[in-house]
Chains A and B, each alone.
Chain A
Amino acid sequence: MGLPKYPQRYYGDYSLITKGGYAINKAFGFLIISSIIAAAFTGKISTLTADTMSAAAAGVTRVFGLIGILTLWLGVAKIAERSGLLRLFTKVLQPFLSLLFPSIPKGHPAMGSILMNFSANLFGFGSAATPFGLKAMQELQSLNRSENASEAMCTFLAINTSSLTLIPSTIIALRVNAHSANPAEIVGPMIIATLVSTFVAVNADILCRFHSRKRGLN
């Protein structure tokens, strides 16, 4: 199998996207269908039209309230990227990262992309994290060359899906908008919760890795 070219084939295989998107499509359908059927029995069907319309309008208002803070954050993140602060951060994390990815040779470009992806995630800069992450996957695939996920890929995505965000800018924006007395008060608890989920992800990944080595690929 030839390696997909980057970035033209970001979404080279649609079957996986549909598979991943399947659950949300089902959930969306389930919420709406079960609600309307339930409303017919609970006698709330008369207020449902107004509720639905105002919910749609509220969704747009909510997003518009986010624009200012998103704009600010993306601007600040650009400065961090351009000044090399993001790269500096990467250097600090390097030894820790070689521990996590024993199968990646030292100095392989995959490590750099993984580090950039993690750093961007830590800063809550999700839209920068994704390009670095896809680049990292491409470099990991150059070590893998198979249709089965490599161990390093599984570790990389385990950490990614557990979230590494230190600054949840969007959530803070939501709270600012709703006139919170202290919008950032959730940052501390959130960092602890995300550390727990990342810690569990790393350990579950290690367990699965050794288990699958014993039992063969699955």
Chain B
Amino acid sequence: MVIHWINTVSSWFIPFFLLAVFLHGSYKKIPLYDTFIEGAREGFTLAVRLIPYVVGIYVAVSLFENSGAMDILLYPFRPALTFLGVPEEVIPLMVVRPLSGPAALGITAGLIEKFGPDSYIGRLASVIDGSTDTTLYILAVYFASVGVKNPRYSLPVGLTSDFSGFIAALLICQMVFA
């Protein structure tokens, strides 16, 4: 029942959101097409800006997997991970997610490509990627922008919430997709 509800919300959310935006825009007499173009113009530059991050991490992760280094490093943890139901393929994603958003996106893209978007790993990687944000980057840039040098307890708080997001992602995916 809950699962059915989640799936329904998932597929209705975006069409409904688009409808709301365009209805509100035309109600407020916004020039819809002109405004759309104005915002959409940034799409290309934004994507191109992602290229170096994605290529760098694609290469690093591909090397890590294809060289057998990941197998060697994860070997001691394998029984524990299997016991918890964590596919070992998503471990690098969990490690990188708090460090770099584009890097995490690169790993997620790689997993979706390799296992398929509708595989369990593909879905789990998507949810993990979306469950939290890039803690280290946000703290560094936001605090630096106002000259704050002592971030106090914000780093442990951020990392704790990242970790809890991963656990939640795992549990929910096991319920909904497994």
Contact = CB atoms under 8 A, between A and B. Distances in A.
- Residue among A66, A141, A179, A201 facing the most chain B CB atoms (10 A cut-off): A201
B39 A74 contact: yes
B9 interface: yes
Contact of A79 (B7, B30, B137): B30
Contacts of B134: 161
A75 B150 CA distance: 38
A82 B75 CA distance: 53
B55 A66 contact: no
A71 B54 contact: no
Interface in A34-55: 34-39, 42, 44-45, 47-48, 51-52, 54-55
A83 B146 contact: no
Interface in A74-94: 74-85, 88
Interface string B141-159: 1111111111111101110
A55 B106 CA distance: 11
- Residue among A3, A73, A79, A218 facing the most chain B CB atoms (10 A cut-off): A79
Which size class do A's interface residues fall under? 35 or more
B88 interface: no
Contacts of A45: 67
Contact of A217 (B13, B69, B152, B176): B152
B66 A51 contact: yes
A38 B72 contact: yes
Given A74-B39, A77-B39, A189 B6 contact: yes
Interface in B120-152: 122-123, 126-152
Main secondary structure, interface of B, reads: helix
B64 to A, nearest CB: 5
Contacts, number: 413
A204 B164 CA distance: 11
Nearest to A151: B152
A78 B39 contact: yes
B153 A174 contact: no
Given A48-B63, A137-B145, A193 B56 contact: no
Contacts of A12: 144-147
A148 B162 contact: no
Which size class do B's interface residues fall under? 35 or more
Nearest to A88: B24
Nearest to A218: B152
A185 to B, nearest CB: 5
B117 A75 contact: no
A134 B99 CA distance: 19
A189 B160 contact: no
A200 B131 CA distance: 12
Interface of A: 1, 3-4, 9-17, 19-21, 23-24, 27-28, 31-32, 34-39, 42, 44-45, 47-48, 51-52, 54-56, 58-60, 62-64, 66-68, 70-85, 88, 127, 133-134, 137-138, 140-141, 144, 146-149, 153-154, 157-158, 160-163, 165-168, 170-172, 174-175, 178-194, 196-198, 200-201, 204-205, 208-209, 211-212, 217-218
Given A63-B50, A79-B32, 13 more contacts: A4-B147, A20-B141, A59-B58, A66-B50, A74-B40, A80-B21, A134-B142, A147-B147, A161-B138, A189-B177, A194-B132, A197-B164, A209-B153
